[in-house]
Amino acid sequence: MRGGAARKKLCGALLLLVCVSGATFLGVRALAAPARGSGGSGGVYTAAWGGKGGGAGESDRQYTPADLKLMEDLGAEGWEARSVSDFSKALADWTDEDAFHAGEEAMERLERTYEAGGAYDRFLRRTLSASLGEAGTRHYGGYCARHRDSFSDSAVRERQADVFGDQYTVFQAAADYQVRYVIQDGDKLTVGERDRILNDYRAEVRQYLDGFTEKQLLDEKTMAKKVEVYLESLDGQLSTDLMKLEGSSLVWYSAWGPEYGG
């Protein structure tokens, strides 16, 4: 009896360790600041666990023709209708160690060196980034009964003005946040539907910022609290039967611009 109980405790400890490892993978990945320039998720993806990754010099390599072909193949006509499970597995097969890291490294090179504004820029930094995160959740947390995915994003409000004949940004308010979600059925949820929800989420946050004056937005402490509460309400508002949003949170809020007196 004692031996059986000890084995159960050991199995439970191992399962907890694997699940925590998966959660840590997502946490480390989320530390990268969202990339605002291309309307992308966020940030440069890095191989946080490093098992197959190279040194600093290797990680700066230009993406390869094979990397570009992988992205082009995944972006072929009809990609929106593919299931999220099939799509993320084609990008980085989480059931195969070598295949997963090959996809992971290809994404790292693409996100570091693919040209901003290129034909696949948005597809890379939003669609593929979200799918790689989902593959990573399953690869590193494969024994967890319930996987919770996350996607780093940002919403920005800014104003430009003419300064001696040139346009400059003179005000900006930015909310960097993490959408957390549980895919209820990865074989039924399509990539297009997942992307629609993530895009709607950003649009709602952006619209929320539009509801404040620049003076109000400059009060960073107050605005951070307001945005955090708003994200909680968005989780319930945008959840569907196939994709449940829960635990989304503000990572950083910042604003700068003209000083307002009074």
Cα gap 129→114, rounded to integer Å: 13
Cα gap 87→93, rounded to integer Å: 9
Cα gap 93→63, rounded to integer Å: 20
Cα gap 21→227, rounded to integer Å: 29
Average the pLDDT over each of 9-18, 131-140, 188-197 and give the range with the smallest value.
9-18
Please state, for a pLDDT cut of 70, what percent of the chain lies above it: 74
Query: What pLDDT band is residue 162 in, cutting at 50, 70 and 90?
Result: confident
User: Which carries the bigger pLDDT value, residue 56 or residue 168?
Assistant: 168
Task: Tell me if 175 sits within 8 A of 203, measured CB to CB.
Answer: no
Mean pLDDT of 164-193: 96
39: left (phi over 0), alpha (psi -120 to 50) or beta: left
Cα gap 106→80, rounded to integer Å: 21
Mean pLDDT of 58-76: 89
Structure-block tokens of residue 200:
């709607």
The reported pLDDT for the residue numbered 143 is 63
Coil, helix or strand at residue 225: helix
The pLDDT tens digits of the residues spanning 115-135 come to: 999 999 999 999 999 999 999
Structure-block tokens of residue 126:
């939003």
Neighbours of 103 (CB within 10 A): 27
The reported pLDDT for the residue numbered 160 is 94
The reported pLDDT for the residue numbered 60 is 54
Q: How far is CA 123 from the centre of its chain?
A: 13
Q: Which amino acid is at 148?
A: R
Task: Tell me if 66 sits within 8 A of 74, measured CB to CB.
Answer: no
Structure-block tokens of residue 141:
């947390």
DSSP 13-45: HHHHHHHHHHHHHHHHHTTSPP-TTTT-SSS--
Alpha-helical runs (H) found in the chain:
2-29, 56-59, 65-74, 84-91, 97-113, 121-122, 129-140, 191-210, 214-217, 220-238
The pLDDT tens digits of the residues spanning 230-242 come to: 999 999 999 999 9
Q: How many CA atoms lie within 13 A of 210 on its CB side?
A: 7
Question: Which residues lie below 8 Å from residue 26, measured CB to CB, with a gap of 6+?
Answer: 133, 136, 137, 149, 150
Task: Tell me if 173 sits within 8 A of 156, measured CB to CB.
Answer: yes
Structure-block tokens of residue 164:
């001696």
